[in-house]
Amino acid sequence: MDTVFNSSLLLHGLVVIGGFTVLFYLFKFSWKCWCGFRAYVLSEYWQTDLRTYGQWAVVTGATSGIGRAYANELARRGLDIVLVSRSEEKLHAVAMEIERSYGRQTRVIQTDFTVGHAIYPAIAEKLDDLDIGILVNNVGMNYAGMLVYFMDIANPEQRITEVINCNILSVTQMTRLVLPRMVERGKGLIINISSEAASEPQPMLSLYSATKIFVTYFSRCLNSEYSPRGVTVQCVAPFVVSTNMTYNVAVSAFVKSAPDFAREALNTVGHSSFTSGCLSHALQVRTYANMHSSLGGSQWDSVFSLRN
């Protein structure tokens, strides 16, 4: 009799535990769906007024691709733009484009982010008199060519340093320049462009993907530190966008044009501190992550053992 009672009690206990487990995962799934719906669907109609952060937005790598698209979209939404990039000719062309299209003020700063620390005092001086509300750390680079073994990088002593200076140092130093005044005013927005390449280890893109996971972690840490003081740090990790870096791959349901991506990504400000930028990319990243989890990290070993 006692054995039957104990078995029944155990069975009921397992049913209760199972029920709570199902409810937990159902709630977790529902919460993720709601967050995605809010970030990528509702945000189209429920947008943050970016002018509340300040008069000026600074965009690095602003003469092409995602950076140029962000600069134009921010101007369309009512901000004056500081364009920072390497080519003075292209800087003035984009500045003229923005002034003619949106009637906003522009300033240009010509600099080469691959150089290193020496460039930042001059940048700081040129930004000193501006009410900077938004910084977009977009500038970035890969090696020459998309996929390469680490030891096969051409001119490694120079190229490795350039990638680190451009992808990591630029983010930290530009943030260091604008963050103190944002904290003083109690408002500001820093947008750091990472990459889907940071979501999992990427053989053949080892250095590039490593620099992008730095951007992701740096952004998420800073947001935790400074969001209580009014400064939002958003990390944007896109999948494939049609730019020079991706060899201007054709736009499709999976590949966004830079202008469309910038518009949708800016809609997520105020809704998400870490975003893929658009619904299409968010779904691709989730699918990729699930496939990677199912196959296990060891698939890379199998692929490369076959290659070798």
Q: Where in the sequence numbering do the catalytic residues fall?
A: 208
Q: In the beta sheet, which residues pair with residue 68?
A: none
* DSSP code, position 235: E
Element (H, E) at 83: strand 80-85
- Nearest CA-CA partner of 251 in 275, 276, 274, 281: 281
DSSP string across 92-159: HHHHHHHHHHH---EEEEE--TTS-GGGHHHHHHHHTTS-EEEEEE------SSS---GGG-SSHHHH
**Residue 68 and residue 84 in contact, taking contact as beta carbons nearer than 8 Å:** no
Residues 203/160, Cβ–Cβ less than 8 Å:
no
Residues 262/70, Cβ–Cβ less than 8 Å = yes
Whether 272 and 220 have beta carbons less than 8 Å apart is answered as no
CB atoms within 10 A of CB 81: 27
> On the CB side of 72, how many CA atoms lie within 13 Å of its CA?
20
| CA atoms of 226 and 176, how far apart (whole Å) | 13
